[in-house]
Amino acid sequence: MKKILVLLLIVSGCMESSTGIVEVVRDQSGGETTILDRTSQAFTAPASNLNDAELEQHLSGDLEFESVFVTAPSPLNPGLGPTFNHTACNGCHISNGRGATVVGEDLLRSQMLVRVSLSDESGMIPADGGPIPVPGMGLQIQDHAVFGETPEAKITLNWIESSGEYPDGTTYTLRQPDLDIRLPDGSALPKNIRTSLRQPPPVFGLGLFEAVSESTILENSDPDDRDGDGISGRPNYVWSTERKEKVLGRFSWKANVYDLLEQTGGAYNSDMGVTNPIANNDDAGNPMDGPPEISRQRVEDATFYAQTLAVPAPFNIDAQERGRKLFVKMDCAKCHTESMTSDDSHPIEALRNQTFFAYTDLLLHDMGPGLADGRRDYEASGNEWRTAPLWGLGLTQTVAPFTSGFLHDGRARTIEEAILWHGGESKKSRENFKNLSKADRQSLLDFLQSL
Ligand code: HEC
Ligand code: HEC
Ligand SMILES: [Ca+2]
Ligand SMILES: [Ca+2]
Ligand SMILES: [Ca+2]
């Protein structure tokens, strides 16, 4: 079937107007980076269009991503801590997918992070416009420490369940996190500190997000909702430590990070306590004395790895046309923009001029009070989140069985629960979903599961 469509296109020479072409390309979810793999290793393959030199750097980066850091002095990977969240990138991004959300345990077992800041009412907004660091704690709680040092806090995660009903009488249960955060002296975190629980997102395909031009992203934004459909979509503008100016943010759950280099340098510094030329403080905001603990090259190699991971192709997506049409009809695609095309300027050749299907506009949306964390991050309000990409969604629990959840804090145990949490700008879309027949809801879920 597909071959016939391709032939027809060659004959007709018409790429845009044929409806057939969309099906053919949709299989190539990551453009030419795409691989065919639906196993637990599906997020770990190098992009299939890398040249030899690129492949070599990718493999060096793979080693960096797996490097386990230890307390100095040590011949290999010293520099962990003094406080930290985990010891390796892939300790949190399990097989390059999400972390796990374990109940009750301290968060090292669950790979989750808690971001913190002071409430804006305290009026000390930093010159770069970012969130206000908590004195002595910075912007993130490190709940582990090397021997002889004290973790910043002890965090316990529990879930609160609630139940609801579809108009057709089918019932469901949802859960939301309830954090208990204790300072070393046993006292609770002061009330003026905003907290935000974050699950590690998957790390494949992200180079393509870097390779999209700013104007491509801004095309989909509608900050004042001029077309009156209740959906806005706002860019986040964040401080770039490398460029030393405010730039469009694309990474992390609030699009509050500029690029993958700054994301990676920040992760070494804040998540592992490993200072480096990109980020060099103890996450209480204090610049560290002494030379960085790892070289710029090592940070660049780990970055390159995340930039050049392959995107797994969807499974038999042609059979999910009914669900895909419902996805569009329910207005899901108004935020989960089906495809984008990168331009020709990214330094990595394999990422240039690729049309890919990530199902995100990379913009911020108000998702309502149910999902709100109340913690501003640059332009992102306490209600706003970056539209989560949906590629690879159906592989989530293949890659990390029984453990991973959906949404920024992993609260949704299933894709269905994730949809039911949609509020704010996406409330109408959620209601559309709830009002579908059971069979139609299943078709939509089957489509998402095929991604
Ligand atoms: C303690 C767990 C943990 C460790 C260790 C960790 N990460 Fe993450 N990572 C996260 C979390 C949580 C987020 C989401 C952060 C947010 O939204 O604020 C994230 C976000 C990311 C993103 C952005 C993904 C996206 O969709 O925008 C990338 C890329 C990334 N991490 C790469 C790395 C690399 C490279 C390392 C090692 C140097 C690393 N991470 C170490 C937990 C971790
Ligand atoms: C107004 C914009 C908007 C609309 C409309 C919308 N979404 Fe979302 N979606 C988001 C945002 C933003 C997130 C991330 C929210 C979070 O993590 O708290 C998200 C997250 C998700 C997730 C979880 C993804 C993950 O990686 O954990 C799924 C699944 C999803 N959406 C499916 C849908 C479906 C299906 C529809 C239509 C019924 C829909 N969305 C409509 C903005 C939207
Ligand atoms: Ca250190
Ligand atoms: Ca801290
Ligand atoms: Ca609009």
pLDDT surpassing 60 at residue 425: yes
For residue 9, the surrounding DSSP H or E stretch is helix 2-12
The Cα 136–Cα 72 span in angstroms is 23
Q: Which domain holds residue 426?
A: 22-48+310-449
pLDDT surpassing 70 at residue 19: no
pLDDT of residue 427: 98
* SS3 at position 432: helix
**Range of weakest confidence among 21-30, 92-101, 373-382, 439-448:** 21-30
Note whether residue 7 is domain-resident. no
pLDDT of residue 122: 84
**DSSP H helical segments within 153-239, as ranges?**
206-210, 214-219
Note whether residue 434 is domain-resident. yes
pLDDT of residue 68: 97
pLDDT of residue 104: 56
Number of neighbours of residue 309 by Cβ within 10 angstroms: 26
Burial class (CB in 10 A: 0-12, 13-18, 19+), 51: exposed
pLDDT surpassing 50 at residue 14: no
- CATH of residue 37's domain is 1.10.760
User: pLDDT confidence of 106, banded at 50, 70, 90?
Assistant: low
Residue with tokens 């959300």: 101
For atom 23 of ligand 1, which residue has the closest CA? 252
Query: Across the chain, what does the average pLDDT equal?
Result: 92
CA of 180 to the centre of ligand 3 (A): 27
Residues in contact with ligand 2 (CB, 6 Å cut-off): 231, 253, 330-332, 334-336, 365, 367, 371, 385, 387-388, 390, 406-408, 415, 418-419, 422, 425-426, 429, 433, 448
Note whether residue 159 is domain-resident. no
pLDDT surpassing 50 at residue 335: yes
Mean pLDDT value across residues 146-154: 95
Ligand lying nearest the CA atom of residue 392: 2
Q: Of 229, 387, 431, 449, which is best to mutate to test ligand 2, by the most ligand atoms within 8 angstroms of its C-beta?
A: 387
Q: Cis peptide before 46, with omega less than 30 degrees from 0?
A: no
Note whether residue 425 is domain-resident. yes
Q: Which atom of ligand 1 lies closest to the CA of 91?
A: 5
- With beta carbons less than 8 A apart as the criterion, state whether 310 and 207 touch: no
Q: Of 67, 203, 250, 300, which is best to mutate to test ligand 1, by the most ligand atoms within 8 angstroms of its C-beta?
A: 203
Q: Which tokens hold the place of 94?
A: 């399990």
Instruction: Please tell me the total count of domains within the chain.
Output: 1
pLDDT surpassing 80 at residue 450: yes
Mean pLDDT value across residues 112-130: 92
Note whether residue 123 is domain-resident. no
Mean pLDDT value across residues 395-402: 88
Long-range CB contacts for residues 89-92, cutoff 8 Å, separation at least 24: 89/64, 89/65, 89/267, 89/302, 90/65, 90/66, 92/200, 92/271
Measured in residues, the chain has a length of 451
User: pLDDT confidence of 45, banded at 50, 70, 90?
Assistant: very high
The Cα 22–Cα 314 span in angstroms is 14
- Among 158, 157, 150, 159, residue whose Cα is nearest residue 183: 150
User: pLDDT confidence of 10, banded at 50, 70, 90?
Assistant: very low
- With beta carbons less than 8 A apart as the criterion, state whether 326 and 280 touch: no
Q: Which tokens hold the place of 196?
A: 């935000």
Q: Which residues surround ligand 3, an ion (CB under 5 A)?
A: 79, 273
Q: Cis peptide before 82, with omega less than 30 degrees from 0?
A: yes
User: pLDDT confidence of 9, banded at 50, 70, 90?
Assistant: very low
Q: Of 43, 94, 144, 252, which is best to mutate to test ligand 1, by the most ligand atoms within 8 angstroms of its C-beta?
A: 252
CA of 387 to the centre of ligand 1 (A): 17
The Cα 309–Cα 43 span in angstroms is 7
pLDDT digits (tens, 9 = 90+) for 178-196: 999 999 999 999 999 999 9
**Range of weakest confidence among 12-26, 40-54, 84-98:** 12-26
pTM to 2 decimals?
0.94
pLDDT surpassing 90 at residue 313: yes
pLDDT digits (tens, 9 = 90+) for 237-270: 999 999 999 999 999 999 999 999 999 999 999 9
Which tops the pLDDT comparison, 83 or 18?
83
**Range of weakest confidence among 15-29, 47-61, 429-443:** 15-29
pLDDT of residue 110: 65
pLDDT surpassing 80 at residue 402: no
Mean pLDDT value across residues 422-440: 98
Residue 327 Cβ < 6 Å to ligand 1: no
95 Ramachandran zone, left/alpha/beta (phi>0; psi -120 to 50): left
For residue 258, the surrounding DSSP H or E stretch is none
pLDDT surpassing 70 at residue 13: no
Note whether residue 422 is domain-resident. yes
Which tops the pLDDT comparison, 221 or 16?
221
Q: Which atom of ligand 1 lies closest to the CA of 253?
A: 17
User: How far apart, in Å, are the Cα atoms of 106 and each of 86, 110, 207?
Assistant: 12, 7, 32
Q: Of 336, 411, 421, 430, which is best to mutate to test ligand 2, by the most ligand atoms within 8 angstroms of its C-beta?
A: 336
Residue 263 Cβ < 6 Å to ligand 1: yes
User: pLDDT confidence of 399, banded at 50, 70, 90?
Assistant: very high
Note whether residue 150 is domain-resident. no
Mean pLDDT value across residues 18-25: 53
Note whether residue 180 is domain-resident. no
* 402, amino acid identity: F
pLDDT of residue 15: 41
